[in-house]
Amino acid sequence: MRQLKISLKDNSYDIFIENGIISKANEYIKEVYKNKKVYIITDSNVEKQYLNQVIEVLKNDFIVDYVVIPAGEESKCLNVYASVIDSLLEKNIRRNELLIALGGGVIGDLVGFISATLYRGLPYVSIPTSLLSQMDSSIGGKTGIDFYDRKNIIGCFKQPSLVLIDPLTHKTLDKREFNNGMGELIKHAIIGNDRLFNLLLEKSIIDENIIYESLSVKKRVVELDPFDQGERMLLNFGHTFGHAIELKMNLKHGEAVAVGMLMAIKFGVDLGLTDSDIHSKVKQVLDLYDLPSFEVDYKEYLKETLYDKKNLAGIVNFILVDKIGHAFIHKIKEDELKWML
């Protein structure tokens, strides 16, 4: 078992990572929640795999109810947000009763947002089941929904009371969903953990230890920057170019980040800021885990970076790495960038 604690000024919580932990989830939850009733919110895929098992174990200590939503990003929307709240109110949910997010990043973001807003705030526990949610999105407290085709545009910060990660659950993910998480996991190694990078070079299975190492990168930036005003930007390594190619090349987000990281490395090498050996090492890891590693000329996409929503007026922030395990923010004035184009 591996354990991490997120320590924030007015909110700290534990993350337990252990194979099979969902079969004793009640033991952990009763340490942070003293009322009787809990409401699991899950999606239609995760329902089939894990809902009954989680209900059975929680029944040992709690009265359990649940809501199931359709699987997929489309559920991170105002309609589903409203329908879940409607179901919870129908079930007579009270202030201070506990929500449990059982699922991937979509469930995590949606349930976190409901927990922040229903009755102006209820506690929630996260049981992430996709690799992406286990190695990244279940911690840090960013919650929200999409609005029409704008991703994550409505939301707020709300930290969970507890996160329980069972690495065995991501074994039932299909290959592309697994890869989606893998792209982001490799990113964590490149920006903040060379030990993790070396483990990945050995083609390790993605176990408790790897998830722990990946989350420790996120923990560091979340604690430095709980409200996404500075250091958290480092997590966007590979995203500026990744966003530009994701739709165009019909890639999953994590796959686009993989290619975007190679583009950002080439850009950094050309600026004289990135060690040129990094490119082949990163390509080697991407190939090991069957992620796309084809070359795309970053220069063709520099123009689109001007419109990235993360940029402030007049300045474009690029996340670059100088060596494996260390990322930094490189600011370029829009005028200079236009000149480069």
**Binding stretches for ligand NAD (CB under 6 A):** 43, 45-46, 49, 71-73, 76, 103-107, 109, 129-130, 132-133, 136-137, 140, 142, 151-152, 169-170, 172-173, 177, 180
* Residue of 73, 146, 85, 140 lying closest to 111 (CA atoms): 85
Judged by CB, which is closer to ligand NAD: 107, or 196?
107
Q: How far is the CB of 202 from ligand NAD (least distance, A)?
A: 25
Classify the C-alpha dihedral 95-110-290-4 as positive or negative: negative
Instruction: Tell me which residue has its CB nearest to ligand NAD.
Output: 105
Q: How far is the CB of 142 from ligand NAD (least distance, A)?
A: 4
Judged by CB, which is closer to ligand NAD: 46, or 54?
46
Residues 162, 69: Cα–Cα separation, whole Å: 22
Q: How far is the CB of 277 from ligand NAD (least distance, A)?
A: 29
Please give the C-alpha separations between residue 270 and each of 10, 177, 267, in angstroms, as whole numbers: 43, 33, 5
Judged by CB, which is closer to ligand NAD: 109, or 213?
109
Q: How far is the CB of 49 from ligand NAD (least distance, A)?
A: 5
* Residue of 60, 44, 119 lying closest to 85 (CA atoms): 119
Judged by CB, which is closer to ligand NAD: 242, or 268?
242
* Residue of 6, 35, 13, 19 lying closest to 209 (CA atoms): 19
Q: How far is the CB of 176 from ligand NAD (least distance, A)?
A: 9
Judged by CB, which is closer to ligand NAD: 121, or 271?
121
Bridge partners (DSSP) of residue 13 are 6
Residues 191, 89: Cα–Cα separation, whole Å: 43
